[in-house]
Chain A
Amino acid sequence: MSAMYGLMAEFASAEALVAAARRARAEGYARIEAYAPFPVEGLAEAVGFTRSRVPLAVLVGGIAGGLGGYFLQWYSAVVHYPENIGGRPLDSWPEFIPVTFELVVLGAALAAFVAMLAANGLPRLRHPVFGAPHFDLATRNRFFLCVLAADPRYEEKGARRFLEELEPMRVVEVAQ
């Protein structure tokens, strides 16, 4: 028999999923995943998500974009190709602001996109949960809680009994 990824319970409502995730954490399960068709308030905290590093990446991206943008203009206008335009200073910073601003936003937005995907481990061609029965409904109207086999407290019979207690619609095995 192939290795298990985990046991998955299916629920009909977001409230049931949040309650189930909280129960599972209270029972001592540390490695659980919850799947929902829309962002459910409190669900990420319930599965033990603490903080995201996406905002930091956005800050760094914005600063990098701004510094890079100003440097680009300063270097080309002052060092590489100095040109006297109407006697204005070579480093005419007020006129360098629009491009700098645009590159701050561009750097920050690209960082937000890349950091969100990278932290989520996306893009990804294959994942074990896609093999679970009914999982196509996770993007429609059903809510899933998965207790991972990698959890130190995981033991198949105990985990199944625990999930059945939550009164889900069904409990299925997820193959690795």
Chain B
Amino acid sequence: MSEQLLAPRWGYASITDKISDIVLQRPIHWVWALGFGIAGTLTLVFFGCMAWLFAVGIGIWGVNVPVAWGFAIINFVWWIGIGHAGTFISAFLLLLRQKWRNSINRFAEAMTLFAAGIAGLWPILHLGRPWFFYWLAPYPDIMKLWPQWRSPLVWDIFAISTYLTVSLLFWYVGLLPDLATLRDRAASRAKQVVYGLLALGWRGEARHWARFEIAYLLLAGLAAPLVVSVHSVVSLDFAIGNTPGYHSTIFPPYFVAGALFSGFAMVLVLAIPMRRFFRLEAFITLRHLDNAAKIMLATGLIVAYGYACEVFTAFYSQDRYEIAVTLNRMVGPYAPVYWTLLFLNVVVPQVLWWRRARRSIPVLFTLGILINVGMWMERFMIVVTSLNRDFLPSSWGLFVPTGFDWTMLAGSIGLFALLFLAFIRFLPAISIFEMREIAAEEKE
């Protein structure tokens, strides 16, 4: 017997009022203000670092030959990975008729948009001359140059910009009925006008709902393969190169599973404080957290298989360079990173086999943070340890991150937090109309 997603005491009106009041009525709390202040400061530091980077170049980072891909690429892959769970929750779980998704899809999609947007910044910052990034776009320019279509880096631009656009459309379409609710419940003229314009005149007519549902379902169907394609294409940035440690066919599925793994970890990191702070325990129940934890466990096992497969393939291939890279990871200068990430991503998540762990808030929150750290280290392992010792021992070298590397990573986390904190206060963090649907179904 499954637990109810919503207690019977919740009706259409109380659901509407509860969620919309967070945006319309609730005064600013000092905890939120403090978080916003810290996140805002980090964001300003991030922008300041960017300005300095543009002024003097990427020499402020630790990257150099042979390790020319450093934190910028690690952070890019990490953020785009986090940006996977939202669309997965919204699209795949909608198609699979998993009704529990209805209370977590909205903020998970917002998380996706912010994370993917921040991810998109890193490759541009990483360009030596970022002001020429538009050269990657296909347009008939006077230099008569075109993008190199055979390069995965160009595929990446298309994959990520499409993913961002489609995720934004999907999110916005789902928001329309709720924006109309905010418009109708707003007390001040300014809010009525702003939410009214954003709602595009939505009035909930039966034919509109019918077309809305068709469009929403089709967008879900389109977004589902897109989720899989984005991180696959990101992995091809590595796998198509012949660098030992990059050149591996396991990369696309291994990257996609890793992305969902870290994305669900981030969903937990965001959902747990949010449900407590805004008293949303009735909507985001332990059953939701339990289900998210199960997906984390499953994707975590696929990631563990990916790690095992990489090691096995290296030795089975008898390719001396692949073997050397694998040994370099295990006992080389970055060995602590390798063993820590194995511990965080493979060993620690095994506690999720126990139902009590899946229903313990402190365990899930800690795990969410640890997995995100572990997945960041995984990307460090892939990017750095493959480059620092490749074919020629004469061109080996170490990568040591600088203060700017660390500060900009922290700054991007600040920007993400800033966007998310603003989102919670300006838009309904839980889909109101989809919760009303659940209420209607549970009544039957």
Contact = CB atoms under 8 A, between A and B. Distances in A.
Q: Which secondary structure characterizes the binding site on chain A?
A: helix
A40 B209 contact: yes
Interface stretch (B108-116, B289-297, B431-439): B431-439
A33 B302 CA distance: 50
Given A80-B144, A101-B229, A110-B169, A44 B207 contact: yes
Interface in B355-380: none
A130 B203 contact: yes
Given A85-B150, A113-B215, A120-B207, A76 B13 contact: no
Contact of B184 (A36, A99, A140): A140
B211 A54 contact: yes
Interface in B184-233: 184-185, 200-215, 218-219, 222-223, 225-226, 229, 233
B158 interface: yes
B166 interface: yes
From B147, B148, B201, B434, residue with most partner A Cβ within 10 Å: B201
A175 to B, nearest CB: 16
Interface residues of B, number: 62
A63 interface: no
Contacts of B206: 21, 33-36, 40, 43-44, 46-47, 49
A85 B151 CA distance: 11
Contacts, number: 190
Given A47-B206, A99-B158, A116-B173, A39 B149 contact: no
Contacts of B395: none
Given A52-B211, A122-B200, A76 B437 contact: no
From A44, A52, A98, residue with most partner B Cβ within 10 Å: A98
A112 B201 contact: no
B205 A33 contact: yes
A139 B200 contact: no
A37 B211 contact: no
Contacts of A58: 215, 218, 222
A135 to B, nearest CB: 8
Contacts of B149: 73, 76-77, 95-96, 99
A92 to B, nearest CB: 6
B79 to A, nearest CB: 19
A37 B343 CA distance: 48
A118 B353 CA distance: 49
B194 to A, nearest CB: 14
Contacts of A49: 206-207, 210
Given A54-B215, A76-B138, A98-B158, A81 B145 contact: yes
Interface of B: 11-13, 16-17, 138, 140, 144-150, 152, 154-155, 158-159, 162, 165-166, 169-170, 172-173, 177, 180-181, 183-185, 200-215, 218-219, 222-223, 225-226, 229, 233, 236, 433-434, 436-437, 440
6 contacts: A34-B205, A38-B12, A99-B149, A103-B162, A124-B200, A124-B201
